[in-house]
A and B are shown apart, each in its own frame.
Chain A
Amino acid sequence: MTKIGLEIHCQLTKLESKLFCPCKANYREFEPNHNICPVCMGLPGSLPRLNQKAVESATSIALALNCQTPEKIAFFRKNYFYPDLPKNFQITQLNVYGDMSVGGEGYVDVEGKKIKIRRIQLEEDPGRLIYEGASDRTKITLVDYNRAGTPLVEIVTDPDFENPRQVRIFLNILSDLLENLGVAEPGLEGAMRADGNVSIEGGNKVEIKNIGSFHDLEKALHFELTRQQSLSERDIDIVMETRHWDDRRKITVSSRSKEEDQDYRYFLENDIPWVKIEQTTRDVLKENMPESISSKKERYVEKFDIAPQVAEIIASDRYYSQLFENAYSEQNAKDIANLITTDVIGFIDTKEKQQKSKITSKHLSDLIDAINAKTITRNSAKVALQEIVKSGKDTKLILQEMDLGQVSDSSEIDAIISQIFEDEKQAVIDAKERPETVNFLVGKVMQKTKGKADPVKTLELIKSKLNQ
């Protein structure tokens, strides 16, 4: 019986400031140690000041994950020495005097299986270490505290996962959910990390830490499962321990009882009073939460008769759903949805491309209008899209500049058909004998008109010409 549990850390990069001071929450644009102040550097005499919106965001996450949320929350000190910790303690949450972290006892549905969320807590990220030097003997440690104090939400699951595939699906669902809530940007490098724990056949639990990305997590889980299985096959006991993921060698390595010696001496962080979270606050947060992904998907399917897979793609991605929501009308919702999932997605398939793209909802509605009015063909629309994404220019302008207007004038098409009939005499004979090959001729007309010919009309005219 394989049991896998996760400990996920998610940075709240959509906040303006850090958890306990007004330095920037998203530290990535700064030179080393240029996003610091006396508080996040833990200078003597400095005091933490809790960020209201961080508490609200964390509570929203707890609500979105179906958690219980307490009436008041408290913070604790986790004491240990490490160069990335300016105070040599981390301010975090713990359920020591009752349930006082932002949330707990929730769940996420993964393909029908309920994965239990044991606890959600708010805490500060430490700084970052860089190791410099030619060999292990000469290495010094360089520290950048820009990240110290960045707000983190830690999400701890029960060991409910049965295999690494479930883990992957869960993480995708969780990323989409957090992004949809507008509190996090899981696509940012290092913004979401996960540690795991693994046990097989009711044996000892092994924790795996130091995993850099979700990709590495899956590898680490696979490796650890294999390691435990092979030990078990040889009747060797699996030691309960903490191991760390060695990214270079792609294996898990025992952490040499460093963790076991630790005593964190948890006690209340008295510089931060307990914070009362009224029921009304929770109600308002729930009300103001963006619509959930599953609710959006349901709405798209039921209200607009959009195919479930199409609805799934758009609902799950905040970028596409925003594009869609602002573009559709009662009549064209289905068309817009299809346009997004068939063509747009091909041009904007990564978070970076989403950031850079210049397309707006108006572009989409203009395009659909043009297609339905038969001003352009579907093919031409695709060409136009590429340019729209790049330049963001007005749709009509682009259609003009690129000469993408549909050719629907019968005499124009006729003239081209006559030309094709001249050039493709054998194809004409084939078409007369086997009507199903007529598409070759249609294709040639489309080629000649660079896709602008109205395909329906073209087929009509070719058929009638063949019958002459």
Chain B
Amino acid sequence: MNLNTSILKYIEDVKSGSFTVEEFTAATLQRIKDVDEAVHAYLSLNDSAINDAKKIDQKISSGEKIGQCYGFPISIKDNICITGTKTTCASKILENFIAPYTSTVVNHLQNEDAVITGKTNLDEFAMGLTTEFSAYGPTKNPWNLDYVPGGSSGGSAASVAANECLASLGSDTGGSVRNPASFCSVVGLKPTYGLISRYGLISYANSIEQIGPMTKTVKDSAFLLNIIAGQDANDDTTIDNDNANYLENIENGIEGKKIGIIKEMTTSDGLSSEVSAATKDAINDFESLGASCEEVTLPTIPYTVAAYYTITSTEAGSNLARYDNIRYGYEMDSEGYEYNSYISKSRTRFGPEVTRRIILGGFVPSAGHAGKYFLKALKVKSKLISEINSAFEKFDYLIAPTAPVQPFRFGEKIDDPVTLMLLDYNTVTANLTGKPAISVPYRISNGLPIGMQIMANSLQEKSLFQAAYALETKTKLPEVPL
């Protein structure tokens, strides 16, 4: 059975009877057995996956109405709640947390008959860029197991790249879907803020994060967005998307479109030589597709990483305050402790990066320092939004490489906090401004992936997919060597 297929091809095959849902699911589970010990994309597996698959086969054979997904296998990042499953956020502090309710996005998937394969690994509480900060061990890049898969949705990206499922749902706060998508050569979308419900996504920085689909192809991404996007009564920050069909007109092309090359994200001294070369070629590809490319400057960009970390650590410090092990968490008897010592002791279970972000998050908005850090960061956000809105008056798309470098070895960047932060340089802009951005696999160079990022204006996902699809037609990528 060829597991290196797309969702749309899979559905065709199931409909035509080439294989049953159960057969494909069984093959997927076998694949997980074969490779996941090495890759470690998954933290937990869904025990009833085969039964769910069987039920869908029954529906098909009995002619009952069947959901759009036809049982395709999908993995879910372990910071998204599913009733009755362990949802750990790759943290020891939620080691035994069993979610008592299901997130809206998974509800949509289950209603449309998708099969959930399991929960995937991430940097603890989604804070990180390499999945090295998971409390349960890192995920390996399927393209080269000595290299990082990116983060924080490293497990999600790797599970798709290694054919351990056909798609995954990750979350993107500063690049956490696009960065690992680029590192693992899959398609990763961060939608417009408010397009996808966050109900059931365990918050890290709630003002800018979004759940994002990770798939093999651009069309699959649009298909998945159709299933999970839309206003949700459980999330006051969701917006009306007019029931858009994102697959519609996706092959229209980009003839006559204007593309802005973001100067600050494409300067050659900020990028590795391979990434720089790939970017130049991508620009040529866009032009050959009929678009006109021109450099554009967004002068606020050099301040965005500092603003991003200031804002997100403030929100994280607040969003993670609830983890005091009193209402849920793990077993620790309160005998002998008083309140403050109990919660301080329980919170020693946070990993090092989360601990540091929480301390930062107490510092930058505090009474003596908010003016210097937090309030300034909020104003950087406002300024950036004006700048990018002006840019979108002139351009249909803004492009840059997703990551300034290719995947690197484990342990290489983890010791210098500033170097690590700067990996987000090209991606945080989309989060701070709420604009949609997609990473498209572009090239494998020296065995390691490079992805290209395309941004569009708010709620322009349909147009964004058109550009991404067009670029995809220009790429020819090898299969993963795993």
Among A7-15, A86-94, A215-223, the stretch in contact with B: A86-94
Does residue B322 face the partner (Cβ distance < 8 Å to A)?
A: yes
Kindly state the separation between the CA atoms of A271 and B370 in the bound complex, as whole angstroms. 21
| Residue ID in chain A nearest B321 by CB atoms | A88
- Do the beta carbons of B94 and A44 come within 8 Å of each other? yes
Residues of A within 8 A of B370 (CB): 265
Binding-face segment, B20-28, B35-43, B97-105: B97-105
A38 lies within 8 A of B100 (CB) = yes
Is A267 part of the binding interface, using a Cβ–Cβ cutoff of 8 Å?
Answer: yes
How many residue pairs link A and B with beta carbons under 8 A? The number is 93
Is A455 an interface position by the 8 A CB rule? no
Query: Are the CB atoms of B318 and A79 closer together than 8 Å?
Result: yes
Minimum CB–CB distance for B68 against chain A, Å: 25
* Nearest CB on A from B140, distance (A): 27
B235 and A44 contact, CB distance less than 8 A = no
Chain A count of residues within 8 A CB distance of the other chain: 31
In the assembled complex, B300 has its CB within 8 A of some CB on chain A: no
Contact of A81 among B200, B201, B235, B321 (CB under 8 A): B321
Contact call A44/B87, Cβ cutoff below 8 A: yes
- The residue of chain A having its C-beta at the shortest distance from the C-beta of B239 within the complex is A273
A43 touches B100 (CB 8 A): yes
By a beta-carbon cutoff of 8 Å, the part of chain B in contact with chain A is 80-81, 87, 89, 94, 97, 99-101, 103, 198-203, 206-207, 233-237, 314-315, 317-318, 321-322, 324, 326-328, 334, 339-340, 343, 362, 365-367, 370, 374
CA distance A273 to B239 in the complex (A): 11
Nearest Cβ in chain A — how far from B362, in angstroms? 7
Smallest beta-carbon distance B135→chain A, Å: 16
**A43-B100, A83-B326, A263-B367 given; A48·B321 CB < 8 A:** no
The residue in chain A whose Cβ has the minimal distance to the Cβ of B374 is: A267
CB-CB under 8 A from A83, the residues of chain B are: 326, 339
Whether the pair A44, B206 counts as a contact (CB closer than 8 A) is no
Among the listed A45, A49, A265, which residue makes an inter-chain contact with B318, where contact means beta carbons less than 8 Å apart?
A265
Contacts of A209 in B (CB 8 A): none
A sample of 23 inter-chain contacts (CB < 8 A) reads A38-B100, A42-B322, A44-B89, A44-B94, A45-B80, A45-B87, A47-B198, A47-B234, A49-B233, A49-B234, A79-B317, A81-B340, A87-B321, A141-B339, A263-B362, A263-B367, A265-B362, A265-B367, A265-B370, A270-B206, A270-B237, A271-B236, A272-B236
- When chains A and B are docked, how far (Å) is the Cα of A50 from the Cα of B81? 22
Bound Cα distance A47, B201 (Å)? 9
The interface residues of chain A lying within 8 Å CB-to-CB of B328 are 43
Contact status B207-A270, CB under 8 Å: yes
- Nearest-neighbour CB distance to chain A for B408, whole angstroms, equals 32
Is A77 part of the binding interface, using a Cβ–Cβ cutoff of 8 Å? Answer: yes
Chain A residues near B206: list those with CB within 8 A: 270-271
Given contacts A87-B322, A273-B237, list 18 more A-B pairs with CB under 8 A.
Answer: A41-B327, A43-B328, A44-B99, A44-B202, A44-B322, A45-B198, A45-B199, A45-B203, A46-B199, A49-B234, A86-B327, A88-B324, A89-B318, A140-B334, A263-B362, A265-B317, A265-B367, A267-B374
Q: Which residues of A (303-338) have their CB < 8 Å from a CB of B?
A: none
- Which residues of the other chain, A, contact B81 by a CB distance below 8 angstroms? 44-45
Contacts of B314 in A (CB 8 A): 265, 267
Complex CA gap A460/B40 in Å reads 108
Whole-angstrom distance between the alpha carbons of A77 and B324 in the complex?
Answer: 18
| CB-contact partner of B366 in A44, A45, A50, A263, under 8 A | A263
* Chain B residue nearest to A88 in the complex (CB): B321
Point out the residues of chain A lying under 8 angstroms from B367, CB to CB: 263, 265
State A267–B205 Cα separation when bound (angstroms). 13
**Contact A273:B236 (CB < 8 A) given known A44-B202, A81-B321, A267-B314:** yes
Q: How far apart sit A46 and B99, CA to CA, in the bound complex (Å)?
A: 11
